[in-house]
Amino acid sequence: MNGELRHMLRDDDVTHEEQRQILELGMRFRADRLHRRPFEGPQAVAVIFDKPSTRTRSSFSIGVAELGGYPLVIDKSGSQLGRGEPVEDTARVLTRMASAIVWRTFGQERVETMAEYSTVPVVNALTDQFHPCQVLADLLTLAQHRGGVDALPGMSIAYVGDASNNMANSYLLGGATAGMDVRVAGPYGFLPDPQIVAKAEAIASDTGGRILVTTDPREAVSGVDCVFTDTWVSMGEEAEYAIRSKPFWDYQVNDALMTLAKPDALFQHCLPAYRGKEVTASVIDGPRSVVWDEAENRLHAQKALLTWLMGQLRADESLLA
């Protein structure tokens, strides 16, 4: 392993061209799930979960196995991390045993510390600040339905709802990296961190993308190619749904809002979804919805990401072909 150690901790950890390479690989895995097996021999990938998961657990576990590796799935309750062991110590141990580390956790600083002390690639499988693997899958879904990866630059997308959460941050950075027209809408008090917006604008200036942050969902959705949303209440806050959801009802993705998008606009949701709340059943179960392709594409996008990271580490460009 004599190449460059790379991590995927946030969406702007890759350039426009690198993101395109990963998405092209993802399209190849969609066509042929066994397109590449970058793991030589019985190598393990540590997949750590501090939060509940369905799609992340399934896609990484199955994906690592299909790549020729062994997924070592570690739950918070079954590791010393859950009992307060320093992240630095966990990193020092796992990097002596695993070929990569995937972590679904809370604060972004946790994956950053893991990466600082790791000698193998670290992948952010979700933090409170970013969800880069989901956005790769979402972009792959657009490529699937809209003519390939080369169709992404210039495409317009809108995210509406809680615009202060990890999905809004990742759409801003990931969409800007792809050269897209990215629009994010949320109520006052639930808008993106200005530093994230500024970084997205800087990226967009290089890639030909555009960034719009607004409190008007109609402005965001007008004429776009795809509408995205997410649950209004984060994990662990479900008991407070009635209170926490109040600011968001004007941002519900319903038939009336979708009519403002392009006639053939798609709808995506990272799931789990709450029908009748952030999205109506008529939209998520309707003909514009591609959420099941989106969920499947977590598998293909994450296999592509791991293949790309291992190719960088080994300086083996054949893995990226």
pLDDT tens for the chain, 321 residues long, are 568 999 999 999 999 999 999 999 999 999 999 888 888 777 899 999 999 899 999 999 999 999 999 999 999 877 888 778 999 999 999 999 999 999 999 999 999 999 999 999 999 999 999 999 999 999 999 999 999 999 999 999 999 999 999 999 999 999 999 999 999 999 999 999 999 999 999 999 999 999 999 999 999 999 999 999 999 987 566 666 777 789 999 999 999 999 999 999 999 999 999 999 999 999 999 999 999 999 999 999 999 999 999 988 777 777 777
CB atoms within 10 A of CB 96: 9
Which of 7, 110, 131, 269 is the catalytic position?
Answer: 131
134 is catalytic: yes
Which of 20, 30, 104, 269 is the catalytic position?
Answer: 104
Which of 21, 43, 129, 134 is the catalytic position?
Answer: 134
57 is catalytic: no
Contacts of 242 (CB under 8 A, 6+ apart): none
298 is catalytic: yes
Which of 50, 230, 269, 288 is the catalytic position?
Answer: 230
pTM above 0.75, yes or no: yes
230 is catalytic: yes
Cβ–Cβ < 8 Å for 191, 164: yes
- Domains observed in the chain: 11-130+298-315 (3.40.50.1370), 133-294 (3.40.50.1370)
Which of 298, 300, 302, 312 is the catalytic position?
Answer: 298
